[in-house]
Amino acid sequence: AGTWFFWHETRPDDAFWILLSVLVATCPCALSLATPTALTCATSRMGNYGILLRKSHVFETLCKVNHLIVDKTGTLTHGDIVISKVETYSTFSKEQSLSIAAALESHANHPIARAFKVYTDQNVTVSDVENIIGSGIQGDYQGKQTKIGSAPFVLGEAKSAEPNSIYLSVDGVHIATFKYQDPIRKEANSFIERFQKEGIKVTLLTGDSQMNADSVASEIGIDKVVANAKPQDKLGYLKNADSADVTMMIGDGINDAPTLAGAHLSVAMGGGADVAKASADMVLLGDHLERILDARQLALQTRRIIRENLAWSLGYNLLILPLAVAGLVAPYFAVVGMSASSIIVVSNSLRLLKEQGK
């Protein structure tokens, strides 16, 4: 309006085309494309990485993460657990112990529970089953209370706990110990090392025993370990974290769901429980941890591209507007400049579709 009134008083014949140039020059096409085009391209790349985005803040928060919290079983380890040894301590045979354990574990979805599935016996059933998240499972077998789980839960004491072991009792009598194997993911060491090199704190937060947690932590280089954590303990740890921490939680189980929901950014393993995936901001479909590193680098690159787009579009408008107001830009030139500015922004965003390093 100011441009129109000035040139209408000064050079009435030129007022219209100068006003038209100003309107075209100030059209915010490039500015409005700066962020959406970059996010669209980055989201497409995330899909190529096998990462499903469920929340809109993922890219922004990935750039700010300074505290990584990881679960153990099914996250740092494969979660493809196999029972390697069975020790019996009563009149129950090895086969009976395994079938009772399988009947109880059929009511859980933990990776350890899945290891017992092959020992299922249709003739062995349990009733009144209760899943004590973070501890184990209890139920009624032939009128007797039966428990399977950690040493404190089953035996009532922690001192007799052994690494990578699950315990079974009937009527308070310890009848079997199941030893299992759960190999660590081959990429776990480099995954943790990369985060540590970037100055990001790493904590292993698990419901497993201190002994099992320390064994895995020492092998992959994690100093901070919180073990024997029930779901409420995990969430409590998250709430009591330093206020300056921007946390990223990676987990896969039902007991991780509250923590995943409470973290600033959460990642669920694709092979994990449905409730964990429903609580997470991202789902790692292929269970390849290194893809999270790729996602973080992509987020940093996306932020840089957005800043470049905004700088270009704002800079162009700041440059062209005074020239247009001064009557130095013809309408057709303003059209060309506006279109070129939009093309530059879109082309810059399309760089995100390229493989990094190429």
| pLDDT for residue 256 | 86
Exactly one of 71, 208, 256, 294 is catalytic; name it.
Answer: 71
| pLDDT for residue 264 | 94
| pLDDT for residue 91 | 87
Work out the average pLDDT over 57-76. Answer: 93
- Give burial (CB, 10 Å; 0-12/13-18/19+) of 188: buried
| DSSP codes joined into one string, 93-154 | -HHHHHHHHHHHHTT--SHHHHHTGGG--TT---EEEEEETTTEEEEEETTEEEEEE-HHHH
| pLDDT for residue 320 | 80
**113: nearest Cα among 140, 152, 82, 146:** 82
| pLDDT for residue 155 | 87
Query: How far, in whole angstroms, is CA 127 from its chain's centroid?
Result: 36
**93: nearest Cα among 126, 124, 122:** 124
| pLDDT for residue 24 | 81
* Alpha carbon distance 206, 220 (integer Å): 15
| pLDDT for residue 309 | 94
Q: Given pLDDT bands bounded at 50, 70 and 90, which one contains residue 355? A: low
Give me the percent of the chain exceeding a pLDDT of 70.
Answer: 97
Question: With 80 as the cut, is the pLDDT of residue 157 above it?
Answer: no
| pLDDT for residue 27 | 78
Q: Compute the C-alpha angle 343/344/349, nearest 5°.
A: 100
| pLDDT for residue 162 | 77
Cα distances (Å, whole numbers) of residue 341 to 26, 80, 313: 11, 53, 7
Q: Given pLDDT bands bounded at 50, 70 and 90, which one contains residue 158? A: low
Using one digit for the tens of pLDDT, what is the confidence trace for 160-219?
Answer: 567 788 999 999 999 999 999 888 999 999 999 999 999 999 999 998 888 889 989 999
CB 131 within 8 A of CB 104: no
Using one digit for the tens of pLDDT, what is the confidence trace for 118-128?
Answer: 999 999 999 99
Question: With 70 as the cut, is the pLDDT of residue 356 above it?
Answer: no
Q: Given pLDDT bands bounded at 50, 70 and 90, which one contains residue 357? A: very low
Q: Given pLDDT bands bounded at 50, 70 and 90, which one contains residue 28? A: confident
Question: With 80 as the cut, is the pLDDT of residue 13 above it?
Answer: no
Question: With 70 as the cut, is the pLDDT of residue 343 above it?
Answer: yes
3-state SS string for 146-204 = EEEECHHHHCCCCCCCCCCEEEEEECCEEEEEEEEECCECCCHHHHHHHHHHCCCEEEE
| pLDDT for residue 14 | 73
Structure tokens that stand for 358 in this block: 């190429």
| pLDDT for residue 358 | 41
Q: Given pLDDT bands bounded at 50, 70 and 90, which one contains residue 31? A: confident
Using one digit for the tens of pLDDT, what is the confidence trace for 202-245?
Answer: 999 998 888 889 989 999 999 999 998 888 899 999 989 888 99
* Alpha carbon distance 175, 177 (integer Å): 7
Using one digit for the tens of pLDDT, what is the confidence trace for 260-309?
Answer: 999 999 999 988 888 889 999 999 998 889 999 999 999 999 999 999 99
Active site residue 242: no
